[in-house]
Structure formats: structure tokens, C-alpha cells
Amino acid sequence: MTVEEILRQKIEEMEKTISGLTKQNEEYRNLIKDSGLKDTKKDYKDRLFKFIFGNPENKQWTLSLYNAINGTNYKNPDDIQFNTIGDAVYMRMKNDISFIVAFEMDLWEHQSSFNPNMPMRFFIYGGRLYEKYIAASDYYQYSSMLQPVPRPVCVCFYNGTKEQHERQVLKLSDAYEGEGDIEVKVTMLNINYGKNQHMMESCEPLKEYAWLVDAVRRHQSEKMDLDAAVDAALDEMPDEYVIKTFLLENRAEVKSMFLTEYNEEKVMEKERQEGHREGRQEGRQERNIEVASDMLKAGGMSVSFIAQISRLSEEAVRKLASTLGIAIL
């Protein structure tokens, strides 16, 4: 491939990416508009999981979940030092929860759909978090002595509707073609109601959160709209649940978070469907170009005939011939 062809290909890829992002933003805005939510940064609501477990006001719930995952028994919630990057937006990805405890860097992400690419996301988040840590500490990268850093622990909490294992490990190296020198491991825990019972029993707030999500889905399955389903689930939540008072005090925010997550899922599903369609279209285009190239190389055929057989335009056939350095009839 010539330098000119490479540049042309890169420009086309950039134009397609820009066009795709514009379309995605328009669709997301339309969904937000239909839902009645305001499309402003000021009114953006976090995911409910982050609202419960990444909230400095409720460090005791974060610590309870940490203990349940790791089999530890820390008592002081102030041992949790949140370092979540609030404005960490990269490729439409937001950092959910991260904190340091016992000289350990914990990165938590919540997903309502299975994503095998989570290790790459954690890799990006981890780089930014360690950069932030180094800038705020006395770490000296040019030291002749080994500089200690908190060990990273990556956990993804999954509560999508598609069946997944209770626990599985996702690896960045699974995406490599051959061996690589960088590895990122992410432990994915299924937190749907009824899964990972031992962990749920060890962390009451997590079990109660799982119950709430399950109750909302159950009411939705009864043809109830999302707004009413959230209200019904909150009203029937047992009074002894430790997170109930907090959720009721923030009922409007909780409903907004459910609605935002629901709309995000709709947008992502559309993108996946469009991606499949675009992939098929690109595959057909590549085959058409291959057919035209073979016919041009064979020679003796007119542009109109090649265009008819390959399903390319005559202009595209002429450009292809020029690129291949072939004289055409």
C-alpha cells in the first residue's frame, strides 16, 4: 500500500468515526429528550451502584462490600480513601469507583451488559489513577531504589439480564494476537439477586441493591413503565433494609439513575446493531473491490461491464484502476 493510499484510508476512517459519533450523540440526546431528563452536565446522574457504594457519605457500605469480596474484616470506614476521577471521560467511558485502602488501589466498575473488553478500560483507568497517585505522593521514578506503589485490584460488578458465571476472570491478553508484555486481569462478579449468595450475606447493602434491581425488572415485566416500576419497588422494599432510608430520601435521583441507565442500554444496543450492519456492508464492499480488481488485472473488459458485475460505480472502478496502475478501456 502506498503512502497516498494509507493517508486516504486514514482520512476515510476519521470521517467515518466523526460521522458515527455525531449520530450517536444525536440518538442519545433524543432518548434523553423522550425520557424527560435534561441533557446538561449539571443534571447528569451517576449510576445507582456508584451512588450507593461510591458515595463518601456512605463509606461504611463501601467497606462492607470490600470486606465481603476479600474476606477481610476492616472496621474503620475512614480507611477508605476515594480517588475516583470524576471527569474521566474517554471514548464515552466514565470511571465508576476507585479508592485506596491498606495500600491497595481498588478499581470497581459496574456493568449491566457483558463486556469482554473491560480489561482495556481498566488499563486506561489504572494509568490515569497511578498518574494521579504519583503526582500527589513522594514517588520518585528516577530513584535507584525500588519505589513502592499500591497494588491494583480490578473488579467488575455485573447485573445484566443475560446469564453469566457467578465469577470469572477477564484478561487483556485474551485480546492479543500472540504473546504480549502487559497483562490486566479483571474479576467479574455476578451481583444479580440470588447469585454469589455468600458475598451477598456478607454485605447487606449489596444484597439490598440486588433485590431492588430485581424488583424493578419484575414490575417492568408486568407491563409497568419504568418510572412506576421504580416507585413500586421502593415502596415495597422491606423497612429493615439499611439502604432504604437513603434511597427514599433521594427518590427522584434514584428514579433518574434508573432511567438514565435504561436509556444508555438502549443506545448501546442500537450501536451494536448498527455496528453489525456496518460490518456486513464493509465486508460486501471489500468483496466488490476484490472482484473489480481481479477483472481489471485480467484486462479486456470495459468499465461499465466491470461496474455492473462488481456492483461498484464506474467512477469507483476508474479510481481503482488508477490506484492499481492499470489502463482501462
286 CB-near residues (< 8 Å, 6+ apart): none
Residue 260: its H or E element: helix 251-298
> Is the pLDDT assigned to residue 165 strictly greater than 50?
yes
- Could you tell me the pLDDT band of residue 261, with boundaries at 50, 70 and 90? confident
Would you state the pLDDT for residue 238? 97
Mean pLDDT of the residues in the chain: 84
Dihedral of the alpha carbons of 201, 61, 122, 270, in degrees to the nearest 10 = 80
- Could you tell me the pLDDT band of residue 23, with boundaries at 50, 70 and 90? low
**325: alpha, beta or left? (left if phi > 0; alpha if psi -120 to 50):** left
Distances, alpha carbon 36 to alpha carbons 223, 227, 258, 266, 272, in Å: 20, 11, 13, 15, 25
166-201 in b/e form (b: 16+ CB < 10 A) is beeebebeeeeeeeeeeebebebbbbbbebbeebbe
- Could you tell me the pLDDT band of residue 88, with boundaries at 50, 70 and 90? very low
319's grid cell:
479510481
Would you state the pLDDT for residue 199? 97
> Is the pLDDT assigned to residue 189 strictly greater than 60?
yes
Radius of gyration of the chain (CA): 26
Q: Which residue did the predictor score with more confidence, 304 or 168?
A: 168
Range ranked top by mean pLDDT from 19-28, 216-225, 240-249: 240-249
State pTM to two decimals.
0.69
Would you state the pLDDT for residue 215? 96
* Sheet of strand 151-158, all strands in order from the earlier edge strand to the far edge: 81-82, 97-101, 104-111, 151-158, 185-190, 167-171
> Is residue 132 packed enough to be buried (19+ CB in 10 Å), middle (13-18) or exposed (0-12)?
middle
* One-character DSSP codes across 151-169: EEEEEEEE--SS---SEEE
Find the mean pLDDT for residues 128-147.
93
Amino acid at 227: D
Distances, alpha carbon 33 to alpha carbons 2, 36, 259, 266, 273, in Å: 47, 5, 12, 14, 22
Residue 39 to residue 260: CA distance in whole angstroms: 11
Instruction: Provide the CA 321 distance to its chain's centre, in angstroms.
Output: 42
